[in-house]
Structure 1
Amino acid sequence: MSEYILETKNLVKEFRGFIAVKDVNLQVKRGTIHALIGPNGAGKTTCFNLLTKFLTPTSGKIFLNDHEITHEKPTQIARRGVIRSFQISAVFPQLTVLENVRIGLQRATGLSYHFWRSDKILRNLNGKALDLLKQVDLGEYANELTVNLPYGRKRALEIATTLAMEPELMLLDEPTQGMGHEDVSRVTDLIKKVSVGRTILMVEHNMKVVSQIADKITVLARGAVLAEGTYQEVSSNAGVMEAYMGTTTGELEGAHG
Structure 2
Amino acid sequence: MSAEFILETRGLSKEFKGFIAVNNVDLKVRRGHIHALIGPNGAGKTTFFNLLTKFLPPTRGTILFNEANITTEKPAQTARRGIVRSFQISAVFPHMTVLENVRAALQRNLGTSFAFWKPESSLHHLHERARQLLDEVDLGSFADEMTVNLPYGRKRALELATTLALEPELMLLDEPTQGMGHEDVDRVTQLIKKVSQGRTILMVEHNMNVVSSIADRITVLQRGAIIADGPYAEVSANPLVIEAYMGTTDTALPGEQPTKESTV
Amino acid of the residue matched to residue 63 of structure 1?
Answer: L
Is 1:224 aligned to residue 225 of structure 2?
Answer: yes
Which residue matches 2:12?
11
Write the distance in 1 (CA, Å) between the matches of 2:98 and 2:68. 36
Q: Say which SS state the counterpart of residue 176 (structure 1) adopts.
A: coil
Which residue matches 2:188?
187
Amino acid of the residue matched to residue 59 of structure 1?
Answer: R
Cα deviation digits, residues 116-137 of structure 1 (max 9, x gap): 2221211110111011000000
Amino acid of the residue matched to residue 3 of structure 1?
Answer: E
Question: Alignment RMSD, CA only?
Answer: 1.1
**TM norm structure 1:** 0.98
Checking the alignment, whether the CA contact within 8 Å between 2:39 and 2:45 is kept in structure 1 is yes
Question: 5+ unaligned residues in a row in structure 2: which ranges?
Answer: 257-264
Is 1:111 aligned to residue 112 of structure 2?
Answer: yes
Which residue matches 1:61?
62
Larger mean CA deviation between 120-129 and 162-171 belongs to 120-129
**TM norm structure 2:** 0.95
Which residue matches 1:176?
177
Checking the alignment, whether the CA contact within 8 Å between 1:206 and 1:254 is kept in structure 2 is no
Residues 22-61 of structure 1: matches in 2 within 5 Å? 22-61=23-62
Q: Say which SS state the counterpart of residue 121 (structure 1) adopts.
A: helix
Which residue matches 2:130?
129
Amino acid of the residue matched to residue 129 of structure 1?
Answer: A
Amino acid of the residue matched to residue 139 of structure 2?
Answer: L
Checking the alignment, whether the CA contact within 8 Å between 2:212 and 2:255 is kept in structure 1 is no
User: Shift of residue 249 of structure 1?
Assistant: 2.6
Amino acid of the residue matched to residue 177 of structure 1?
Answer: Q
Cα deviation digits, residues 43-88 of structure 1 (max 9, x gap): 1111111011111000001000000010111111110011000110
Larger mean CA deviation between 103-112 and 88-97 belongs to 103-112
Amino acid of the residue matched to residue 229 of structure 1?
Answer: G
Write the distance in 2 (CA, Å) between the matches of 1:110 and 1:48. 25
Q: Say which SS state the counterpart of residue 92 (structure 2) adopts.
A: coil
Cα deviation digits, residues 199-224 of structure 1 (max 9, x gap): 00000000000000000000000100
Larger mean CA deviation between 175-184 and 45-54 belongs to 45-54
Aligned length: 255
Cα deviation digits, residues 145-199 of structure 1 (max 9, x gap): 0000000000000000000000000000000000000000000000000000000
User: Shift of residue 254 of structure 1?
Assistant: 7.0
Checking the alignment, whether the CA contact within 8 Å between 1:10 and 1:60 is kept in structure 2 is yes
Write the distance in 2 (CA, Å) between the matches of 1:30 and 1:107. 25
Amino acid of the residue matched to residue 38 of structure 1?
Answer: G
Q: Which runs of 4+ in 1 moved over 3 A?
A: none
Write the distance in 1 (CA, Å) between the matches of 2:203 and 2:62. 20
Q: Say which SS state the counterpart of residue 153 (structure 2) adopts.
A: helix
Write the distance in 2 (CA, Å) between the matches of 1:109 and 1:147. 26
Write the distance in 2 (CA, Å) between the matches of 1:71 and 1:61. 9
Question: 5+ unaligned residues in a row in structure 1: which ranges?
Answer: none
Q: Say which SS state the counterpart of residue 41 (structure 1) adopts.
A: coil
Which residue matches 1:155?
156
